Structures are given as structure tokens and as C-alpha cells.
């Protein structure tokens, strides 16, 4: 907020100098009036432009905010049978690692997301969530038909907003129209030996990205 409040304050001082310059005209101090009006106008214009740039930067930063959720690591157990050990290392709190034996082409992580309205994001509220399952997925329905579903429940207390206390969030939710929607969301990535991925929470839901070469190669090679 400093990056647009400080320039706005400069613009305010510039406007004040313009007003003082106008006052100097009525006092007959035309030289001083000219200097104040010119200097004040320049300061006000520069401050206003910089404050608008800072505000736009803040809006973009808040609406595109991403927070770390978990790191997903994959280890092959029986590649011929598409069996992998998948470990979820949480990045959003002090939660023990959880491992799950999956059989398939891809892992899928799912949970519930609370999305806020855009103006609430700008004011500091980030999307909240809770993870519920890690499960398997195949590249196509044809490959998956008739094959077992393998999954594990994910445990751990839902993380709280880093900037807004949980009690405040509940009060804001109850008294203001800040909630946009609640929904189930999921992301998936290929299973490959040695692959590591990072799961992120955006203001609109979950996202995932490869973290190492094995993951990038597997993701690029996905049918």
C-alpha cells in the first residue's frame, strides 16, 4: 500500500502548494505565486501518476496472488503395473507428510475452496481451502474403465489467512457480502518416477506445476 499512498501524499502536498500559490496572487506576491503554482502542479501531477501506477501494481499483485500448499513427490513401485508411491509434503503448516500408493497414469489432489469477491482480495483476503483426497487418474476413460480406484484421505487443519485473523474472517463473512462461492476443486499431474510437483492456491482455486526435470518431461509428454 506504501507504493501508492506515498505518491498520493506527494500529490496532496503539490495541490496544497497550488492553493498557496493562488493565495499569494491575492496578496500581490506574483513571483512567489508563480513558483508555488508551477512547482505544486508538477508535484501533484507526478504524485498522482505514481500513485495510480502503484495502485494498479497492488491490484494486479493481490488478484494474482499464489500461496504454496504442498509438494508432491512420486516414486515408482511397479511401473509395469502403473503403481507409484506418492508423498504429500505440506507447505502451508506443520502437518506430517502423508504417503499414498496409487495405481494409474496421474495423481489428482482435491479439496474445498472458499473464493472471495475481487474487492475483498484487494483489501487483503486470500482464498481459503482444505484438502481432502489424493487419488489416481488415467489419461483416458478407456484406460481407466474396470481398473481400481486408489486414493487416500488427506488430513490436517485448514490453514488460516496469514494477514487476517480467523475470527475476523468469520465476522467479515457473516456481516459483509465478501463471499463469492464455495466449490470443490482438483488438480492433476502425471505419475513418473522421481517427479516432484508443487501445488499452489490462487484466488480462484488450486494450481500445480512441475518442480524438477522428471516432472517437466512427464508433463510435456502427456498424451
Average pLDDT over residues 66-93: 94
Mean pLDDT of 186-211: 95
pTM over 0.95: no
What pLDDT shows up at residue 6? 63
Q: What is residue 123's predicted lDDT score, i.e. its pLDDT?
A: 73
- Taking the domains of the chain in order of start, what are their residue ranges? 2-62, 66-220
Q: What is the pLDDT of residues 129-185, one digit of tens each?
A: 999 999 999 999 999 999 999 999 998 765 555 555 566 666 665 555 566 678 899
- pLDDT above 90 as % of the chain: 43
Decide if pLDDT at 49 tops 90: no
Query: What does R_g of the chain's alpha carbons equal in angstroms?
Result: 27
166-177 tens-digit pLDDT:
666 666 655 555
Distance, first Cα to last Cα, the chain: 45
Sheet containing 128-137: order of strands: 151-153, 128-137, 106-116, 179-190
Average pLDDT over residues 111-136: 85
Alpha helices in the chain (DSSP H): 2-26, 30-63, 118-123, 141-144, 166-175, 213-220
Handedness of CA 200, 131, 194, 147 (dihedral sign): negative
Amino acid at each position: 500500500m506504501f507504493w501508492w499512498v506515498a505518491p498520493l501524499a506527494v500529490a496532496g502536498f503539490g495541490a496544497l502548494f497550488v492553493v498557496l500559490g493562488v493565495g499569494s496572487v491575492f496578496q500581490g506576491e506574483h513571483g512567489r505565486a508563480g513558483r508555488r503554482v508551477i512547482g505544486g502542479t508538477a508535484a501533484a501531477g507526478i504524485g498522482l501518476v505514481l500513485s495510480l501506477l502503484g495502485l494498479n501494481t497492488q491490484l494486479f499483485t493481490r488478484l494474482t496472488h499464489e500461496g504454496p500448499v504442498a509438494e508432491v513427490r512420486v516414486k515408482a513401485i511397479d511401473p509395469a503395473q502403473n503403481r507409484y508411491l506418492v508423498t504429500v509434503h505440506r507447505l502451508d503448516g506443520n502437518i506430517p507428510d502423508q504417503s499414498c500408493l496409487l495405481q494409474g497414469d496421474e495423481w489428482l489432489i482435491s479439496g474445498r475452496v472458499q473464493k472471495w469477491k475481487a474487492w475483498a482480495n484487494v483489501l487483503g483476503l486470500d482464498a481459503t481451502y482444505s484438502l481432502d483426497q489424493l487419488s489416481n487418474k488415467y489419461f483416458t476413460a478407456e484406460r481407466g474403465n474396470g481398473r481400481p480406484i486408489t486414493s487416500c484421505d488427506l488430513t490436517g487443519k485448514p490453514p488460516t489467512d496469514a494477514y487476517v485473523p480467523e475470527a475476523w474472517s468469520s465476522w467479515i463473512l457473516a456481516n459483509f457480502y465478501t463471499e463469492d462461492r464455495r466449490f470443490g476443486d482438483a488438480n492433476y499431474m502425471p505419475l513418473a518416477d522421481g517427479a516432484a510437483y508443487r501445488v499452489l492456491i490462487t484466488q480462484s482455486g488450486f494450481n500445480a506445476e512441475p518442480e524438477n526435470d522428471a516432472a517437466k518431461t512427464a508433463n510435456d509428454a502427456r498424451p
